[in-house]
Chain A
Amino acid sequence: MSKICRLCQAGWRSRSTSSAADMVSEQSGAMGISFPPLQTFSEEESMMREAVKKYAQERIAPFVSKMDENSAMDEEVLKSLFEQGLMGIEIDPEYGGTGSTFFSSILVIEELAKVDPSVSVLCDIQNTLINTLISNLGTPAQKEQYLTRLSTDMIGSFCLSEAESGSDAFALKTRADKHKDYYIINGSKMWISNAEHAGVFLVMANVDPSAGYRGITCFIVDGDTEGLEICKKENKLGLRASSTCPLNFDNVKVPEKNILGQIGHGYKYAIGMLNEGRIGIAAQMLGLAQGCFDHAIPYTRQRVQFGKRIFDFQGMQHQIAHVATQIEAARLLTYNAARLKEAGRPFIKEACMAKYFAAEVATLTTSKCIEWMGGVGFTKDYPIEKYYRDCKIGTIYEGTTNIQLSTMAKFIDKEYDH
Chain B
Amino acid sequence: MSGRVLVGVKRVIDYAVKIRVKPDNSGVVTDGVKHSMNPFCEIAVEEAVKLKEKKLIKEVVAVSCGPQQAQETIRTALAMGADRGIHVQVTGKDYETLGPLQVSKILAALAKKEDAQLIILGKQAIDDDCNQTGQMTAALLDWPQGTFASEVSMEGDKLKVVREIDGGLEMIKINTPAVVSADLRLNTPRYATLPNIMKAKKKKIANVNPADLGVDLTSRVEILRVDEPPQRQAGVKVETVDDLVGKLKDTGRI
Q: A: which residues have CB within 8 A of B?
A: 43-44, 47-48, 50-52, 54-55, 83-86, 89, 93, 97-100, 104, 108
Given A43-B72, A47-B75, A47-B79, A83 and B197 contact (CB-CB distance below 8 Å): no
For B196, the chain A residues whose CB sits under 8 A away are 85
Cross-chain contact of B201 among A44, A54, A86 (Cβ < 8 A): A44
- Most chain B beta-carbon contacts within 10 A, residue among A47, A52, A85: A47
Given A43-B75, A44-B201, A47-B75, A89 and B194 contact (CB-CB distance below 8 Å): yes
Instruction: Report the count of interface residues on B (CB-CB < 8 A).
Output: 15
Are the CB atoms of A100 and B194 closer together than 8 Å? yes
For A52, the chain B residues whose CB sits under 8 A away are 194
- The digit string for B178-215, where 1 denotes a CB below 8 A from any CB of A, is 00000000000001111111101100000000000000
Alpha-carbon gap, A44 to B201, bound state (A): 8
> In residues 66-100 of chain B, which contact A (Cβ within 8 Å)?
72, 75-76, 79
Are the CB atoms of A85 and B72 closer together than 8 Å? no
Are the CB atoms of A44 and B197 closer together than 8 Å? yes
Alpha-carbon gap, A101 to B86, bound state (A): 28
How many Å from the CB of A96 to the closest CB on chain B? 8
> In residues 43-83 of chain B, which contact A (Cβ within 8 Å)?
72, 75-76, 79
Alpha-carbon gap, A48 to B200, bound state (A): 12
Given A43-B72, A43-B75, A47-B75, A84 and B191 contact (CB-CB distance below 8 Å): yes
For B193, the chain A residues whose CB sits under 8 A away are 51, 83-85
Are the CB atoms of B195 and A93 closer together than 8 Å? yes
How many Å from the CB of A61 to the closest CB on chain B? 14
Alpha-carbon gap, A97 to B197, bound state (A): 12
Main secondary structure of the interface of B (DSSP, over half): helix
For A51, the chain B residues whose CB sits under 8 A away are 79, 191-194, 197
Given A43-B75, A51-B79, A97 and B195 contact (CB-CB distance below 8 Å): yes
Q: In the complex, what residue of chain A is closest to B78 when comparing beta carbons?
A: A47
Q: In the complex, what residue of chain B is closest to A82 when comparing beta carbons?
A: B193
Alpha-carbon gap, A274 to B197, bound state (A): 29
For A104, the chain B residues whose CB sits under 8 A away are 194
How many Å from the CB of B203 to the closest CB on chain A? 13
For A86, the chain B residues whose CB sits under 8 A away are 194
Alpha-carbon gap, A47 to B79, bound state (A): 9
Q: In the complex, what residue of chain A is closest to B191 when comparing beta carbons?
A: A55
Are the CB atoms of B191 and A47 closer together than 8 Å? no
For B36, the chain A residues whose CB sits under 8 A away are 50
Are the CB atoms of B79 and A93 closer together than 8 Å? no
Alpha-carbon gap, A54 to B196, bound state (A): 15
Are the CB atoms of B191 and A44 closer together than 8 Å? no
Alpha-carbon gap, A104 to B197, bound state (A): 12
Are the CB atoms of B194 and A85 closer together than 8 Å? yes
Offer 17 A-B interface pairs, CB within 8 angstroms, sorted by A. A44-B197, A44-B198, A47-B79, A47-B192, A47-B197, A48-B194, A48-B197, A51-B197, A55-B191, A84-B194, A85-B193, A85-B196, A98-B195, A98-B198, A99-B198, A100-B198, A108-B194
How many Å from the CB of B5 to the closest CB on chain A? 23
Alpha-carbon gap, A144 to B72, bound state (A): 35
Alpha-carbon gap, A44 to B78, bound state (A): 12
For B201, the chain A residues whose CB sits under 8 A away are 43-44
Alpha-carbon gap, A210 to B230, bound state (A): 82
Q: In the complex, what residue of chain A is closest to B199 when comparing beta carbons?
A: A93
Alpha-carbon gap, A104 to B194, bound state (A): 10
Alpha-carbon gap, A55 to B79, bound state (A): 14
Q: In the complex, what residue of chain B is closest to A47 when comparing beta carbons?
A: B197
How many Å from the CB of A131 to the closest CB on chain B? 13
For B76, the chain A residues whose CB sits under 8 A away are 47
How many Å from the CB of A374 to the closest CB on chain B? 25
How many Å from the CB of B12 to the closest CB on chain A? 15
Alpha-carbon gap, A233 to B64, bound state (A): 52
For A98, the chain B residues whose CB sits under 8 A away are 194-195, 198
